[in-house]
Amino acid sequence: MNQSKRSSSVVEVMVFAGLMFLSFFSFAEDWPQYRGPFLDGTTTEKIGLTTWPAEGPKVLWRIPAPLGFSSFTISQGQAFTLVARPDQEGITREVAVAVDASSGKELWSFSMCIMKYDGGGDSGSETNSGGDGPRSTPSIDGDRVYLYDSQLNLYCLGLKDGKTLWQHSVQDEFEGRNIRWQSSASVLIEGDLAIVPGGGAGQSFLAFNKKTGDLAWKSSDQLMTHATPVPATIHAFARSSFSPSPAWFQWMLPMARSSGITHFLTRYRPLHPLW
């Protein structure tokens, strides 16, 4: 499949996704992280439609979104995603873009790593001609946007202007160990922390102060997967997993017990790992 056909098909997907997120915005609930406010693909908001018109929902705006697997996040009237774009030297890079959710007007963009995926192929495999591109999704917290590109570069940007507030190269600073086809993980924001996988021995999982970028803790020796960190409460223990496998838990906190009743914690603050 040639470049123009791949780009066109991705644009249509982006239009539909944009409409869905406009619905969320209209009802005032943000979609700030990968898979939404509860990190499970659900929302408390209602679209209000029980039937759809035969011609489909009305298209409000379209913008080009060449290549990539990034989904949208939305906050404070802005929508965020990653796309592939050439820089001034003609080198294609992963680029974060912020657009006005009501009009599709681009507000700012931020260029990251070169778009090159070992083992993946820039045009997709023979059995999947959907192309290649950025894998992760921006995370939003207050007035900040958090990005984690496929080469394990972590960025904290200002939500309104896209200016860099702090950044880290997990590859260079923490002996990063990337995965084949490169990382797809998005940043998990939990409490005061921005959490990512991908570090080297003894620092596979890294938690940074989300405001300052200072390292809060590092832990464990597992190799990363393509999964995004997800917090969960299992049998009265709050845990966070960096792998689809239920056997991989990076830390856990025992819940308080009172009068023989176990209190289940649905949201928690991971202050430090147990191992």
> Can you give the pLDDT at residue 116?
84
Which H or E run contains 172? helix 170-173
pTM: 0.77
> Can you give the pLDDT at residue 257?
44
> Can you give the pLDDT at residue 50?
78
89: Cα separation from own chain's centroid: 27
Query: Cα dihedral angle (157, 138, 246, 203), rounded to 10 degrees?
Result: -30
Looking only at the bridges linking them, the beta strands covering 139-141 and 144-148 are antiparallel
- C-alpha–C-alpha distance, residues 137 and 139, integer Å: 7
- C-alpha–C-alpha distance, residues 96 and 80, integer Å: 7
> Can you give the pLDDT at residue 193?
92
Backbone angles phi and psi of 203, in degrees to 5: -150, 40
- C-alpha–C-alpha distance, residues 151 and 112, integer Å: 9
> Can you give the pLDDT at residue 236?
53
> Can you give the pLDDT at residue 120?
59
Is residue 259 within 8 A of residue 236, CB to CB? The reply is: no
Which H or E run contains 170? helix 170-173
> Can you give the pLDDT at residue 214?
97
Question: pLDDT tens digits for the chain (275 residues)?
Answer: 333 333 333 444 344 444 444 444 444 589 999 999 988 888 888 877 778 888 888 888 998 887 888 999 999 999 999 999 999 999 999 999 999 999 999 999 999 999 888 765 555 556 655 568 899 999 999 999 999 999 999 999 999 999 999 999 999 999 999 988 889 999 999 889 999 999 888 888 899 999 999 999 988 877 888 888 877 666 555 455 443 333 334 444 454 544 333 333 333 334 444 33
In the sheet that holds 193-197, the strands lie side by side as 188-190, 193-197, 205-209, 215-219
Q: What kind of fold does domain 3-262 have according to CATH? A: Lipocalin (2.40.128)
For the chain, what are the domain ranges? 3-262
Q: Which 3-state string (H, E, C) describes 39-53?
A: CCCCCCCCCCCCCCC
> Can you give the pLDDT at residue 173?
96
> Can you give the pLDDT at residue 28?
57
Q: What amino acid is encoded at 121 in this protein?
A: G
> Which 8-state DSSP code applies to residue 200?
-
- C-alpha–C-alpha distance, residues 19 and 41, integer Å: 16
